[in-house]
Amino acid sequence: MTVPATTSTSPVPVRSLQTRRRYGDRTFRLAMLGAAGVVVLVLLAMVVFLVAESWPALAHYGPLSFLGSDRWAPSDATAASTRPNPYGIVQFIYGTVLTSVIGLLIAVPMSVGIALFITGIAPAWLRRPLSYLVDLLASIPSVVFGFWGIFALIPALQPVVSFLIATLGKVPVIGGVFAGPFFGLSYFTAGIVLAIMVLPIVTALCREIFATTPADEREAALALGMTRWEMLRTAVLPRSRAGIMGAAILGLGRAFGETIAVTMVIGNNVLSITKSIFSTGATMASVIANEFTEAVEPFHLDSLFVVAMWLLFISLIVNIVGKLWVRRIRGDLVW
Amino acid sequence: MRTRFAAVVAGALGVAVATAACGSTGGSSSGTSANTTASKVNFGAQNARLCGSAVNTTPHYTNTIGTISGGAKTLSGAGSTFAAPMYDQWASSYNKASGVAVAYASIGSGGGIAAFQANTVAFGDGDTGMTPAEISQAKGGAVLQIPLLLGAVVPTYNLPGIPAGLKFTGNVLGEIYAHKITNWDDPALKKLNPGVKLPNMPIAVVHRSDGSGTTNIWTNYLTQTSPTWVSTLGGPSKSEGLTVAWPTGIGGKGNEGVSAAIAETKGALGYVEADYAISEHLTYGQVQNKAGNWIEPCIATVVPAVDGVKFPPSLNTFLTNGSNPDVYPIVGTTYALVYEHQTSKATAAALVNFFAWVLTAGQDENAKLYYAPLGASLQKLAYAQLKKITVNGRPVA
Amino acid sequence: MTVFLAALVAVAVAVLAWVLTYVAAQGLKYLGPAFFTHTPPGNPASYGGGYANGIVGSLIIVGLATLISVPFGVAAAVAIVEYGGRFTAAVSFITDVLVGVPTIVTGAFIYVIWVTHFGFSGLAGSFALALVMLPLVIRATAEMLRLVPVHLREASAALGVSRARTIVSVVLPSARAGITTGVFLAVARAMGETAPLLLTALGNQEFMQLHPTQRMSTLSLQIFTDAITGFQAAQARAWAGALTLIIIVLLFAIGARVIGRRTSVTRS
């Protein structure tokens, strides 16, 4: 803090120093808040632009007509006709939800088990390496998962799926869901890939949740003579149920938005919902990735923006719900 | 307790590593190799004679325009995957000849048309050009459509033990794609291929997931030859186009994705441009043409597709189902899409220079990738289009 | 039961090992010095060449994205932590929500506001990746800033240092290691992104391009383009590219951890 030279011999008045400091502080504060404002602006702009781009299609066909049909046939679209809406998006919502649910059904129990092992059973020296290894799965880029999925996973899945088709496919009521033929690219394959991609996130969250179990409760259980597993089952799991739910919801949000890996293994069948989980399909993200750069039919690009809008909307809802849920348990969770 | 625990962990990790090792070596022999007997071509003597006959694949067209100065050093284009391998080859050779880097993105004819309409690229490419409706949506005004090559769309399949040369008719292909014929040992296929032991395997139909000129050519052919296809799709206006409402099948992105899906899926049947099938050692079949002959797709059977075709002023027309007795019925060209009235002299000069090269020296390279060069009359028509390009009202060439 | 849980861990580790060893096995078949110095050949079906243009493109595009996102991100985090309030609490919430936006939607957004006016370019790709990195940088920085002990700020104020100066000269430097960790992790994430680049950079498969205003390729785009083809030669290049990408991403992730461990602020 330099003291400027003045013509008089008296010291610099304190007020001018304070003023300078105050203006400096104020500008700085405004700059910081401005940057924060940019963040808000970005999200608002995203929502506004997506709605604006999808508006022509929404106005032409009516907003609800998109949710009323599962038939996506851009070749049917003409500039004039408004009914039926050739851009029904229900099958994309179905594909997104189905693949994510398959992924979560596999990933969440595994994550809970792994997190229990890491926090409750593994010796201290093993905890960090194991967590690190599981987290490493999250670093692998999506395109690599898709590539590996095509050439390594699908051949490995063939015998498993053939077995499932031969057994579950014959069961009377639900047989249609597990019917063949299986050509490798399918909802099921995409679900497995999603499970692998979501596993590290859900595991990390569960680890944090289990770590909050008070040590004295665990020790009390052990003192009563329980085995490690019984201790986990009675002292850790019951109080963590809500947290696990929150972790699952956040994992769901991640699965919804996954684009490239899913596009590479799902088979891109956009016409309508296909019943079997072993048949080809599409998700909201995959149809956007596939058709965006080449949507020339009337209202095709606008309808893809409708899909993008719905994808953003659903992802945001799930993420917000998940965050609020977890925050309720962990307080202010910033991880 | 500790030793037991340590043993459990060690055993688990050991199993983990062992499984991974098995996975990495076992998985690498997945279905990428389509057919070990692919080399045994089985198209018959007639086709061997046709395809073995001499065709002039290096016409050495002369470039009368010469190099226009002031052209940009880079050029951005996007579109057809049908022509993409050729664009890549042309771009590489042209770069060596002139130092200009032409960046071509293989995103499908639909993508090329969309990017061109939005003026986000300097040129687009669509195998079936642009319809008047699409041209009216183009931001830059009048559009020139310039044919650059001739290629074949071939029915390609992945059947272990079955060699190349399976016979297909347009109607049977239409019924397969309409999901009416669903198994390889269907009587219709057996009738066409009496000597072949077709397996009892479901047909994995492969089509395009993106807007595609290859699809347009293929479905145009199916519409002409398969009433079942037309009625299943709901009429001739719906049964052909850059995209159609595919009743069944796996969607591949680009010719690349379709050929990959065929290679990886046993029992697959798909349509791809010939270079993809040949370069990837996939087995493809022969198709019965309008004259009733079974024709193998090759350069000699692609070239006659322009015989008797009257090209309109826009040069945009289909080349399928030709009447020449020796022609392969599913042939197409690809149209470079360029705005007639350019706004930047550098871009205009670069465009004219590049396409003048493609239409002359570039044509001599087509056969390297199993495309046919343009015939003399079509080349002259295409070349004339270049002279129409203007900047601020003054012609560039 | 413990055995069962251990088995689950083993399965997860096995899958990780499977993916890594498979990619390594396929990629090493083709990886060599030529891969890093050459661009792909003219005929996609011929062997040879490499992804030099994609690697350079990734570095440039991600580098630009970092230059854009880090200043905004750090500043926004400073606003959230140092100037708390209702507005900044909302910003913090919105940041967490932005993390969950699918990257394809981010790409579509940049397409609409930039590409339709200026064409496809590496710069558009940088904007899209900056939007992907921004919330990650904000989160990591905010967490680090919160860990700086209050008494450091109070001591600085007691010395008469202005608020702005305190933040710049005292708080930020002590959180520097942690912020770098966060940036490294965001960079690792951005290097692996493909979806937003499909709609913004579009790729430049054959040629090296150093100018961001032109179309550029990235490693992820080249891998994607070549992986979905049927040309064995292109697939071979894609495997080598995938191995390269994994190594680069792992280097950044490991680097982040190494820096994080040497942080000057103690973590509980």
- Residues B352, B355, B356, CA angle at the centre, nearest 5°? 75
DSSP notation for A114-150: HHHIIIIIS-HHHHHHHHHHHHHHHHS-HHHHHHHII
In a domain? residue B178: yes
DSSP notation for B331-368: EEEEEEEEESEES-HHHHHHHHHHHHHHHTGGGGGGGG
pLDDT of B199-229, one tens digit each?
999 999 999 988 889 999 999 999 999 999 9
pLDDT of residue A79: 81
User: CA C118, CA A140: separation in Å to the nearest integer?
Assistant: 32
pLDDT of residue B28: 36
- What CATH number has the domain bearing residue A326? 1.10.3720.10
Contact criterion met (CB < 8 Å) for B92 and C214: no
In a domain? residue A217: yes
Stretch 235-274 of chain A: residues touching chain B, C-beta under 8 Å: 263, 267-271
Closest Cβ–Cβ partner in A113, A145, A315 for C8: A113
User: CA B93, CA C42: separation in Å to the nearest integer?
Assistant: 8
Tokens 């002959």 belong to B293
Asked whether the beta carbons of C39 and C241 are under 8 A apart, the reply is no
pLDDT of A121-166, one tens digit each?
888 898 888 888 888 898 899 999 999 999 999 999 999 999 999 8
Mean residue pLDDT across chain C: 89
In a domain? residue B221: yes
User: CA B221, CA B218: separation in Å to the nearest integer?
Assistant: 5
Closest CA to B140 of B118, B109, B115: B118
In a domain? residue A38: no
Domains of chain C: 57-217+253-261 (1.10.3720.10)
In a domain? residue B159: yes
Q: Is the pLDDT of residue A279 over 50?
A: yes
Q: How many CA atoms lie within 13 A of C213 on its CB side?
A: 3
Contact criterion met (CB < 8 Å) for C109 and A50: yes
Across the beta sheet with B286-288, the strand order is B167-168, B286-288, B294-295
DSSP for residue B165: -
Contact criterion met (CB < 8 Å) for A42 and C224: no
Closest CA to A138 of C138, C246, C209: C246
Instruction: Tell me which of C177 and C21 has the higher pLDDT.
Output: C21
SS3 state of residue B395: strand
Interface test with C, best of A147, A250, A309 (most C CBs within 10 A): A147
Closest Cβ–Cβ partner in B114, B243, B248 for A293: B114
Instruction: For residue A105, give its domain range.
Output: 90-330
User: CA C205, CA C225: separation in Å to the nearest integer?
Assistant: 9
pLDDT of residue B222: 95
In a domain? residue A59: no
Mean residue pLDDT across chain B: 87
In a domain? residue B392: no
In a domain? residue B220: yes
In a domain? residue A302: yes
Work out the minimum CA distance from C229 to partner chain B, whole angstroms. Answer: 4
- The distance between the two most distant Cα atoms of chain B, rounded to a whole number of Å, is 90
In a domain? residue B169: yes
The domain tally of chain A equals 1
- The distance between the two most distant Cα atoms of chain C, rounded to a whole number of Å, is 70
User: CA A173, CA B52: separation in Å to the nearest integer?
Assistant: 58
CA distances from C210 to A137, B162, C123, C237 (A): 32, 49, 11, 22
What kind and span of H or E run contains B75? strand B74-79
The domain tally of chain B equals 1
- What CATH number has the domain bearing residue B210? 3.40.190.10
In a domain? residue B216: yes
pLDDT of B3-45, one tens digit each?
555 555 555 555 555 544 444 433 333 333 333 333 345 888 8
Closest Cβ–Cβ partner in C42, C225, C235 for B89: C42
Instruction: For residue B258, give its domain range.
Output: 152-306
In a domain? residue B344: no
User: CA C182, CA B263: separation in Å to the nearest integer?
Assistant: 42
Cis before A181? omega within 30: yes
Helices (H), C29-121: 33-37, 52-82, 86-99, 103-110, 116-118
ipTM (interface pTM)? 0.89
pLDDT of A193-223, one tens digit each?
999 999 999 999 899 888 888 888 888 888 9
Work out the minimum CA distance from A220 to partner chain B, whole angstroms. Answer: 20
The percentage of chain A sitting over the pLDDT mark of 70, rounded to a whole number, equals 92
Of B62-71, B108-117, C124-133, give the range with the top mean pLDDT. C124-133
User: CA A36, CA C71: separation in Å to the nearest integer?
Assistant: 11
